[in-house]
């Protein structure tokens, strides 16, 4: 149908308006694009230039500064030192074998070092820097810098590395750090990204491991521009990390050093606790090892030497070593009998040197017997027969309950690795683990700390502190330096008359002429010591060995001899310190463990090497000769200077 002129004019006007509108929109868009293009080319040119060449911008994590570890007086136990190292990135290096070969001509690199660096680079993403060598000196770093054009992807850096200024003294307590392993990462649900940095170090044992999150801190970040050969041209952005928090321990570094040196030459352990607070002042396990070896990368020879040492220097015997407590357990049996009303502690028991029970003969350590003894004398002279009798009256259930009450058979929550619970055997335990009923002979053996009973030196120190205070003392290793209030300890609710008997027995053990530790008495006024000796059997001398003439402990190989134990607290009138000592295969508690316990107790009371006046006069010449030898090994005073957190 033919349109009229009027319709044509209307249609043209509509088209013109639409065209104008469309043109305006197009012009606006074009103008916006031109303005944006100009802004990007002129005002933001540098930023987009860098983004366009993103391969030249590196984002690096900055390892945080690890927190420090101090003793109770501010002595540094674990610190950080400057460490010159060289790192390498695979994507910048090109031929990594060629670069590593050139690097080996400038600094000492073993085949193992080269192979480890190659393995780390192939395992990680190409742009991740891998530490090739560390602890370099300034001359070595200078040679690398001077030859930088021939070493693409290689960068010298300065960082921090862990070190332990007291070396062996606190190795078992503080522990050590080491590079993150695949096993470490697998144990974490959501690993911190900083752990992905090759050879980043984390706590591997002791406080370093158990307080890892506290000590580690949080990583920072850095954006840098690099040139074609990987050399850093400039830093674009930097966010510093958050340093780890410092940790303060209850350990007294000076006393710890003395205790460890007093154990010198023996496989032994010693624990010192504050009776009132439970603070652990010394946790010495000998022999020890230098934790710095592990930080720097211990050689296979050194590591094999530690593993093959029959004295087991890598084991923390204070909390990990399990030992039959021997006669140091007799206070438990005595209190169990008192609580069960099986005795009033005053009656006497005749000891002929043995007791026949259910067709078996159980001997006393003194073959001729002790005659008639009451509880105090039985403790002082360590009469086995007396406690055989008491155990039959009260039974294993009461003994087990009292043992737990005094702190044995408990795994204490301390920030160190491999803390053992020991073994406080019950009827149910034997049925479950040995598929056998509890027998009267088991109770007899348990009554003198033999049979299935196993304890750690730490548990023995806790038991002694509880006997001295009548409080449920709990051991503590972490200390708040700002804390002033003393810890509140629950009462054990042991009757005063019972404790008087036990304590008199422990006092007479050390101070009565017939006491088993009389030769280790203290004569200094106000420092009298109460204690208990123990000897625990490891192996019996067989009939064949007796027929071959082997009748004494000294005739046996070292690792078949009896363990020697001693526990004590002092001063008697106002107990401050509880001490436990175990000498592996030391043969006799009186001869091997008690003298060590006395010396360590006196060192705690006197703040250092004990004065000769604390010892009986006839012993002083011998003691002085021993002290001269020991003082040569003690840590120099400047190593114990107080550091600032």
Model confidence over 43-58: pLDDT tens digits?
Answer: 666 665 555 454 567 6
Beta bridge partners of 533: 566
Q: Which of 81-95, 120-134, 293-307 has the lowest mean pLDDT?
A: 120-134
- Known catalytic residues are 327
What topology is assigned to 60-248 in CATH?
A: Penicillin-binding protein 2a (Domain 2) (3.90.1310)
The CATH classification of domain 253-306+314-637, taken from the options 1.10.760.10, 3.40.50.10860, 3.40.710.10, 3.10.129.10? 3.40.710.10
Contact 223, 250 (CB under 8 A): no
| Mean pLDDT of the 368-380 span | 96
The average pLDDT across 260-279 equals: 97
Which residue is associated with the tokens 């004398």?
Answer: 377
Local structure of 532: helix, strand or coil: strand
Q: What is the pLDDT of residue 390?
A: 97
On whether the CB atoms of residues 151 and 105 are closer than 8 A, the answer is no
Describe the chain by its helix, strand, coil percentages, rounded to 5: 45, 20, 35
Q: Where in the chain is the domain with CATH 3.40.710.10?
A: 253-306+314-637
Confidence (pLDDT) at 188: 80
The pLDDT tens digits of the residues spanning 612-624 come to: 999 999 999 999 9
Per-residue pLDDT, 174: 97
For CATH 3.90.1310.10, list the domain ranges present in the chain. Answer: 60-248
pLDDT digits (tens, 9 = 90+) for 361-371: 999 999 999 99
Mean pLDDT of 263-268: 96
Question: pLDDT, tens digit, for every residue of 318-357?
Answer: 999 999 999 999 999 999 999 999 999 999 999 999 999 9
CB-facing half-sphere around the CA of 61: CA atoms within 13 A: 19
Strand pairing class (69-70; 247-248): parallel
In angstroms, what CA-CA distances link 114 with 83, 94, 119, 120?
19, 16, 9, 10
The highest-confidence range among 16-30, 86-100, 251-265, 290-304, by mean pLDDT, is 251-265
More confident residue, 12 or 557: 557
Mean pLDDT across 232-248? 82
Give residue 553's pLDDT: 78
DSSP class of residue 562 equals: P
The whole-chain average pLDDT of the chain stands at 88
Percent of the chain with pLDDT over 90: 60
Q: Are 494 and 473 in contact (CB under 8 A)?
A: no
Query: Per the structure block, which two tokens stand in for 375?
Result: 């509880």
């Amino acid at each position: 149908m033919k349109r009229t002129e009027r319709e044509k004019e209307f249609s043209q006007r509509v088209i013109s308006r639409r065209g104008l509108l469309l043109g305006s929109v197009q012009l606006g868009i074009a103008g916006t694009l031109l303005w944006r293009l100009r802004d990007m080319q002129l005002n933001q040119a540098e930023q987009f230039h860098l983004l366009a060449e993103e391969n030249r911008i590196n984002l690096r994590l900055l390892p945080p500064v690890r927190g420090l570890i101090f003793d109770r007086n501010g002595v540094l136990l674990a610190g950080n030192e400057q460490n010159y190292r060289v790192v390498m990135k695979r994507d910048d290096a090109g031929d990594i074998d060629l670069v590593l070969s050139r690097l080996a001509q400038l600094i000492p690199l073993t085949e193992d070092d080269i192979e480890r660096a190659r393995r780390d680079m192939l395992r990680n993403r190409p742009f991740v820097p891998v530490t090739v060598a560390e602890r370099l000196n300034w001359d070595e770093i200078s040679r690398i810098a001077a030859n930088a054009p021939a070493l693409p992807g290689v960068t010298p850096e300065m960082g921090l590395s862990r070190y332990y200024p007291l070396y062996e003294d606190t190795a078992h307590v503080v522990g050590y750090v080491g590079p993150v392993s695949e096993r470490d990462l697998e144990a974490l649900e959501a690993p911190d990204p900083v752990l992905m940095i090759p050879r980043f170090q984390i706590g591997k044992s002791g406080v370093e491991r158990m307080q890892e999150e506290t000590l580690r801190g949080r990583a920072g970040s850095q954006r840098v521009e690099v040139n074609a050969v990987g050399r850093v041209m400039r830093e674009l952005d930097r966010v510093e990390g958050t340093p780890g928090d410092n940790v303060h321990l209850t350990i007294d570094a000076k006393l710890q050093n003395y205790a460890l040196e007093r154990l010198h030459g023996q496989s032994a352990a010693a624990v010192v606790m504050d009776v009132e607070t439970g603070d652990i002042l010394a946790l010495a396990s000998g022999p020890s090892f230098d934790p710095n070896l592990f930080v720097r990368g211990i050689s296979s020879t050194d590591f094999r030497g530690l593993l093959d040492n029959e004295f087991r220097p890598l084991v923390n015997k204070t909390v990990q070593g399990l030992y039959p407590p021997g006669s140091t357990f007799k206070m438990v049996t005595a209190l169990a009998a008192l609580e069960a009303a099986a005795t009033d502690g005053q009656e006497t028991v005749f000891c002929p040197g043995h007791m026949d029970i259910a067709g078996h003969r159980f001997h006393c350590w003194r073959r001729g017997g002790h005659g008639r003894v009451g509880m105090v004398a039985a403790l002082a002279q360590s009469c086995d027969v007396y406690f055989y009798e008491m155990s039959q009256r009260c039974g294993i259930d009461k003994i087990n309950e009292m043992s737990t009450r005094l702190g044995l058979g408990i795994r204490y929550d301390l920030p160190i690795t491999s803390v053992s619970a020991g073994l406080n055997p019950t009827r149910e335990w034997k049925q479950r683990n040995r598929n056998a009923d509890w027998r009267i002979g088991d109770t007899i053996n348990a009554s003198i700390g033999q049979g299935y009973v196993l304890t750690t030196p730490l548990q023995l120190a806790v038991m002694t502190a509880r006997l001295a205070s009548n409080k449920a003392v709990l051991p503590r290793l972490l200390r708040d330096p700002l804390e002033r209030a003393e810890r509140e300890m629950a009462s054990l609710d042991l009757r005063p008359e019972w404790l008087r008997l036990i304590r008199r027995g422990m006092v007479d053990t050390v101070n009565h002429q017939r006491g088993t530790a009389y030769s280790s008495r203290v004569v200094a006024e106000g420092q009298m010591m109460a204690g208990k000796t123990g000897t625990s059997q490891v192996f019996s001398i067989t009939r064949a060995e007796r027929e071959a003439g082997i009748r004494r402990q000294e005739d046996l190989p070292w690792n078949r001899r009896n363990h020697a134990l001693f526990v004590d607290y002092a001063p008697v009138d106002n107990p401050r310190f509880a001490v436990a000592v175990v000498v592996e295969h030391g043969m006799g508690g009186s001869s091997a463990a008690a003298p060590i316990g006395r010396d360590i107790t006196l060192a705690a009371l006197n703040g250092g090497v004990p004065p000769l006046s604390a010892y009986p006069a006839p012993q002083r010449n011998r003691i002085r000769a021993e002290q001269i030898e020991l003082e040569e090994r003690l840590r120099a005073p400047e190593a114990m200077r107080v550091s600032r957190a």
